[in-house]
Amino acid sequence: MSHHLSGPDLRSPGDDARLDLTDVFAFTAPSGDRTVLIMNVNPFAPTRGEHFHPDAVYRINVDTDGDSQADVAFSFVFSPPVDGGQTVSVHRSLGRRAQSHEPGVERLVADAPVSFGSDPAIVTAGGLTFSAGIRSDPFFADLDGIVHDFQWTGRDSMADQNVFGIVLEMPNAELGSNPLIGVWARVSLRRDGQLVSMDRGAHPSLTAYFNSEDAKDTYNAREPADDWENYRDAWTAVLQHTGGYGVEDAHRVLRQVLPDILRYDRSRPVAYPNGRKLTDDVTSARLNMVSGGRITTDHIGPHHDLLDRFPYLGNPHPVGAAAMSG
């Protein structure tokens, strides 16, 4: 299910939903001269996690020169919750420092409020616009149909569910003059003074289809620059089994998702896998890929509660409704 429940046995990494990355998006804002980056975490929020983890570093990485290494990184660090509230600081790292999982020394936003109600808390700092808090989950899929041998139910499993969204919008120039960027997200947890990577990814529904249960934790801890070497052979075998691919065709298809970095050429229209809009049908794209073209859609369309303005993610659903169906 996209990147929801990306730990072993359909559980959250570390059995903690606050550390569970669900989706990554990259698209151009309606103005045309600003880039939007979104990472969502905490599936079925707030039923499995009521706040962001205060000992975690949430991070969006951006590769600006095509070497599959971060050149710009935005890190988000949250305070311990107090009386149901929480604040967040936004840090930026550049160059080689962006390859460290630690927050950058440059703090762009300090102690901004996190929104746990219907209205988003929006902060501007220089050219940056930022928001973090509970929002409607934009992912759409017939998960029951997928699990039950593609017998479609017509039900969107995420239609009334929420996530915690982290949304950044900035001038295109903030990410360099090259219109082609690569984007991925990571959630790390501080243990005994060290940051441990709990989850990472960019492309939807990779670990669910391609990684065995005992491989998921290792995948979440690794760097995308090593993905082709680490996963080419094992994932080729999966495509041979599920889609009848030959080796060369499997390699060609896997080049679209390995390394697990979402490439976005901002000089071209956004449509997955060139970036990802909130309305892109990534479930059908992945079904088509793994089945070798035999299954082309799950017949579920995008959500209608998306906003045409920042923070773009829809207002959260009532918690009672999400809890009953989650």
pLDDT tier, 2 (very low <50, low <70, confident <90, very high otherwise): confident
Q: What is the DSSP letter of 195?
A: E
Mean pLDDT computed over 82-106: 96
Task: Quote the distance between the C-alpha of residue 167 and its chain's center.
Answer: 11
Query: At residue 237, does pLDDT exceed 60?
Result: yes
Residues 239-289 have pLDDT tens digits of 999 999 999 999 999 999 999 999 999 999 999 999 999 999 999 999 999
pLDDT of 120 reads 98
Residues 308-322 have pLDDT tens digits of 999 999 999 998 644
Mean pLDDT computed over 101-115: 96
Contact between residue 103 and residue 122 where contact means Cβ atoms under 8 Å apart: no
Residues 180-194 have pLDDT tens digits of 999 999 999 999 989
What is the average pLDDT value for the chain, to the nearest integer?
A: 96
* Alpha-carbon span 12 to 172, nearest angstrom: 34
Q: What residue type is assigned to position 194 of the chain?
A: Q
* Alpha-carbon span 20 to 69, nearest angstrom: 22
Q: State how far the alpha carbon of 110 is from the alpha carbons of 46, 74, 88, 123, 125, in Å.
A: 24, 13, 7, 10, 10
Strand pairing category for 128-136 and 21-28: unpaired
Other CB atoms within 10 A of residue 152 CB: 14
Contact between residue 299 and residue 141 where contact means Cβ atoms under 8 Å apart: no
Query: At residue 114, does pLDDT exceed 50?
Result: yes
pLDDT of 153 reads 98
* Alpha-carbon span 182 to 166, nearest angstrom: 18
Query: At residue 324, does pLDDT exceed 80?
Result: no
Contact between residue 197 and residue 19 where contact means Cβ atoms under 8 Å apart: no
pLDDT of 16 reads 98
> Which string of b and e fits 1-33 if b means at least 16 CB within 10 Å?
bbbbbbbbeeebbbebbbbbbbbbbbbbbeeee
Q: What is the DSSP letter of 293?
A: T
pLDDT of 320 reads 64
Q: What is the DSSP letter of 3?
A: T
As given in the structure block, the two tokens for residue 99 are: 């390859």
Whole-model pTM: value is 0.96
pLDDT of 117 reads 96
> Do you find a cis peptide bond into 259, omega within 30 degrees of 0?
yes
Please count the CA atoms within 13 angstroms of the CA of 280 that sit on its side-chain side.
Answer: 21
Say which residue the tokens 């005992």 belong to.
214
pLDDT of 319 reads 84
The edge-to-edge listing of strands for the beta sheet with 122-125 is: 21-28, 34-41, 162-171, 128-136, 122-125
Query: At residue 139, does pLDDT exceed 80?
Result: yes
Non-local CB neighbours of 9 within 8 Å, separated by 6+ positions = 213
Q: State how far the alpha carbon of 240 is from the alpha carbons of 142, 152, 291, in Å.
A: 24, 24, 10
Q: What is the DSSP letter of 28?
A: E
For 286, counting Cβ atoms within 10 Å of its Cβ (0-12 exposed, 13-18 middle, 19+ buried), the class is buried
Task: Quote the distance between the C-alpha of residue 27 and its chain's center.
Answer: 13
Residues 44-77 have pLDDT tens digits of 999 999 999 999 999 999 999 999 999 999 999 9
* Alpha-carbon span 106 to 91, nearest angstrom: 6
* Alpha-carbon span 73 to 60, nearest angstrom: 6
Task: Quote the distance between the C-alpha of residue 108 and its chain's center.
Answer: 22
pLDDT of 211 reads 97
pLDDT tier, 156 (very low <50, low <70, confident <90, very high otherwise): very high
